Amino acid sequence: MNAIDPAERLLRSLGIRNPKDIDLELIACDAGAFIEYRNLHSCEAEILGTANEAIIAVDRSASPERKRFSIAHELGHWHHHRGKKLRCRVEKMIGEGRQKPEERTANTYAASLLMPSYLLRPIALDYKRLTFKTIVEIANLFQTSLQATAIRLIQSDIWPAVLVCHGQGGREWHAHAPSVPRKWYPRETLEPDTFAFEVVFGSSRGNSCPMRLDAFDWFDRGEAKYFSIKEETTRIETSKSLSILTLTEADMMDPDLGVRELQAMHR
């Protein structure tokens, strides 16, 4: 996460020092963009502008958190892609998945505008663990969705964790904390011993606190059988799970530690 970026620079210039002061309509007005709430059917938000002024239309039926993300997303387009008309389906702030470059850029701007690191990080550092209770409390402060807040917190790299979403068709997206080695890539399909399996294919709504299980249940690597992790999962949509996988053993953070070294250590 950059120490300073365009969205954060804007917030600092406006003297924003508290999450409750991030008033997107005033911020948009200052940038020459005006918000209209309409019944949109083919998209959740769109922007149309000239050189110095723009109209951002937002679907009036969306949730308050979705409206805020849509406005921030379109302000990202206004900052980076001025002069184009873009119709966006602002469905979610996707983790490490496929996105068009301009949508990824707008999402990054939106995340920084809604949850600037200079405000988010000091608040997050007061929490010892990344749990859904932590995420909900911080989401309420910033008036953001559970999913967008979870991704932003993972990107803050305070905790050694991986965030992953599964549906019945398999893994949909995931996000690593920057310090977590990329070899810990979550499985495409869920193992029956995971809590996420019961959320996606059963009636469970998830587990209420992180629980320990074998790392091999989540990571299809030979060295995973030597480790355990903690999983906390919640249901986010019908038959979809969102899981926090926390690496609890220091050796998992060594990108060069492989099966041979672990076998030698366990002899």
Domain ranges within the chain, ordered by starting residue? 6-117, 160-253
Instruction: Give the angle 163-186-222 at the CA atoms, nearest 5°.
Output: 140
How far is 173 from 215, CA to CA, in rounded Å?
Answer: 19
CA nearest to 47, candidates 38, 57, 37? 57
Cα-Cα-Cα-Cα torsion 94, 99, 102, 106, nearest 10 degrees, comes to 0
Cα-Cα-Cα-Cα torsion 248, 190, 207, 175, nearest 10 degrees, comes to 60
Give the CATH class of 6-117. mainly alpha
At 174, which helix (H) or strand (E)? strand 170-176
Instruction: Check if the beta carbon of residue 21 is closer than 8 Å to that of residue 31.
Output: no
**First and final CA of the chain: distance in angstroms?**
40
How far is 108 from 111, CA to CA, in rounded Å?
Answer: 5
Q: How far is CA 231 from CA 41, 202, 228, 234, 264, in A?
A: 38, 17, 10, 10, 28
Q: What is the CA radius of gyration of the chain?
A: 20
What would be the CATH architecture of the domain defined by 160-253?
2-Layer Sandwich (3.30)
Going residue by residue through the chain, which has 267 residues, state the pLDDT in tens, using 9 for 90 and above.
Answer: 445 689 999 999 999 999 999 999 999 999 999 999 999 887 888 888 777 888 999 999 999 999 999 999 999 998 887 766 555 555 555 555 556 778 888 999 999 999 999 999 999 999 999 999 999 999 999 999 999 999 999 999 999 999 999 999 999 999 999 999 999 999 999 999 999 999 999 999 999 899 999 999 999 999 999 999 999 999 998 899 999 999 999 999 999 988 888 888 876
- Identity (one letter) of the amino acid at 118? Y
